[in-house]
Structure 1
């Protein structure tokens, strides 16, 4: 996840943060723990298609948790990974947390062959050895399922995957791909993949969908195809893989594969350079001796999570907590963390955003003064004069509706920085005036009977 993109926000923000790029070297020994990072070009169908996939770096693996059953598929629902095992008359589903730790397992009264998560309805689905599509019971997770589509697929042993929007599904049998309407099971399209490898079982049925293109795998090579006609686009090598692939999937921005019928899942992160982590705000509020941290992301790619770090004025940063991320998503996500029983002092907080492949980037820092008692105050902005951004600090003595506005000298409101109920605490907000002309402006804080006005100078 590179190049955090800052947004200009004028309401309820403590600071606008961009993560400068930094990387952490990984232990890339090839053994029982192997993950490859695939670099993806920006134009999968254009002139750079030949460079769509490139050899990457190793990251992690995890056991299949499937007992004596063969690993058949994996899906991520935003909170948990779901891994299916099959190969007999019954199957098994394992529930893993975002760090691939086992949470629970359940036997399933069907031979599981594929599994996927549908973002359109928030449900997890299984294709068994057969032609039906089943909805897995995940809440509660009891091993049960419901038949939602009957007799639609090409063959009992075909493998399936879902499009990024959740509206269509694909199944693959020996080079032939069918696309179905998810709601009705109607066949929408049929085509033959321009396969670059033989159809040795079980690779002849493996299929995955990245959200842009279809993938197959053979030995230590991944192949990408046009999702509408099956035309070959590009390929990449997977160094160190044992040529005995068994199952594969694409979920949570990663490509997963097992190298044999027993055991270990290998995951490759795919960085397409298009959807970075966009941190839109990072705020800190002191309430007596607790500090509430809040941050918002607009998009995320391969985001394992955030280390929360703190230091005092004369200290060094230390990690005080970890908040799991949402993997890969284009939807806004909100996060919070409370640092409790903090001694009275000035503190600086920052976030260390960590990818699944171990690379990391730091946010900008936010400062907070933890002391009591609180009073209503509005401080002079700093710097002043400024261009184009300045920081305004204020404190609220009791919970109430707060307005913090900026006006020109004619009395016209030019920015509404806060217009909401806030808890008692100390606040800090960055005001960006890049769209305003040079001159003198005033800012006003109102909460209950408290009202304070100060001047500031924008000098471009």
Structure 2
């Protein structure tokens, strides 16, 4: 995908976060928000095309023919199989769009905790690092034996700083040591946390 601000005199790529895409249409919502409809996915940008993330969720069809924003985080999608509206809003309003240069999985806080703790992580800007973007993030909690307790994050993320709350009470965890692992492309980091009742 390419952009020009002078009628084509100079053109530059704005592909950060978009994999190969056969573009069907481009929808300009305002001076910051853009939607690109592709043959197998659609992408949304809140920073005039600097960074993109997929609108597709497991509940949305592939094969979009058009898409319109109809509310904060909501879209109407036309496809070859019908017309759809997402039930869960797509939102970047609470995300911090500082584009860092390094991966980071922070120590949870508080630690020890009962029953909730917050885990922060940082996703770098791959384009500024000279790499192609790889946007899928997994953040999984394990017990001492390596058994998966829950997946806290399993979705595409644009570069930035994020945080997620883990509620041990929801899983009736006993006091003890647990692990949380962040996977993002080839980056993997694991940290320890302690439930103390």
Q: TM-score range by the shorter chain?
A: 0.3 to 0.5
Higher CA-based Rg = 1
- TM-score with structure 2 length normalisation? 0.48
Greater percentage in strand: 1
- TM-score with structure 1 length normalisation? 0.22
